[in-house]
Amino acid sequence: MKFIALPLIALLMGALGGWLAAGAATHSASAVFPGASQSIEQVAAKFRTSVVQINVETQAGGGLGSGVIIDPRGYIVTNNHVVNNGLNYQVVLYDNTRLPANVVGTDPNDDLAVVKITPPKHLSVANIGDSSRLQVGQPVLAIGNPLGITQTVTSGIVSALGRNINEGQNNLIINAIQTDAAINPGNSGGALVNMQGNLVGIPTLVPIDPEFKTPASGVGFAIPSNRVKFIVPQLINSGHVVQSGRADIGVNVVSVDSDIADQAQLPVNHGALIVNVKPDSAAAMAGLKRGDIIVEANNQSIQDTATLQDFLINKTPGQTVTLQIYRDNQQMAVKVQLGEQQFG
């Protein structure tokens, strides 16, 4: 998995974009992809009842997004950026029933949030699928409320898997699903659904084309359902993330380049320079110090902070890794038992 350094001017929060380049197929998905058990019409008809519209009142006015009912007690998963800075919330169900809602937990780092309503009878609850079983080329549906046009369904395919997308402000969506199913403003927090009728992702954003300053056509990203299954119970029970599941060394680093190497008279012109070691962290216990330069991790070259981040994304807390560092002019190997990233 590689960190996606897309040539973007900005990432459009609110899941703008992705105008569908081709018309929707008229045949059933089972004819396109082996293993699809239902037609597009069947999946759409069944799943749409578990997708809601979320109206948000803020100091700046109002906004809207989408959400998916994932618990019969009235819990709904959506994007953090949909509910962020909201004062009042209203959920609009499939049958146009309008209910007040409150936010019970947020995870800005994964762009996930959970809101809750007092559930009416016969609430339609989505089944959360296994996103690790997705394959490139597999047909999917995006269901949400783009531009406030409720219960809109668009079709497409899984374009790529394992994308790591930086949303800015130190927020990173790991293993994101890339799709060409049309996503527009208001789709954020809605559903990406496979042909078995299972939720496999939460649409969150599309990139902006840097040349035309418009949403990139046919390129959208969704948070994988397995990450949703890991994070959402924590938000329901604690209101915040207790375990991130992401490996962490416990340092602040900056990228080393030729200019920095010349100015600071460093022994190498690449790597990740440690500028701070957090107390009681994995780095502190391993003996890493401010001024050390990480140049290699498990025999993989570390050119800058981005490649160090790429390396850690593929690791889990508790694993032991070997770092090659420069301390002054001396190169040495340091074994580090990885800790767990803590979300503020």
Concatenate the DSSP letters of all residues of 209-250 into one string.
ETTTTEEPTT-EEEEEHHHHHHHHHHHHHHSS-S----EE--
Catalytic residue among 50, 66, 81, 225: 81
Task: Give the active site residue among 50, 66, 110, 111.
Answer: 111
Residue 111 is a catalytic residue: yes
Quick one: which of 142, 285, 108, 113 has its CA closest to 219? 142
Containing 254, the helix (H) or strand (E) segment is strand 251-255
Q: Is 28 a catalytic residue?
A: no
Quick one: 20 exposed, middle or buried, by C-beta within 10 A (0-12, 13-18, 19+)?
Answer: middle
Give me 105's structure tokens.
Answer: 């937990």
Whether the CB-CB separation of 192 and 141 falls below 8 Å is answered with: yes
| Separation CA 343–CA 341 (nearest Å) | 7
262 is catalytic: no
Can you read off the two tokens belonging to residue 305? 């902070």
Closest by CA to 178, choosing from 57, 37, 17, is 17
Say which residue the tokens 């069944």 belong to. 46
Nearest in space to 193 (alpha carbons), one of 142, 157, 227: 142
The catalytic residue among 159, 188, 225, 244 is 188
Tokens of 115: 């809101």
Active site (catalytic) residues: 81, 111, 188
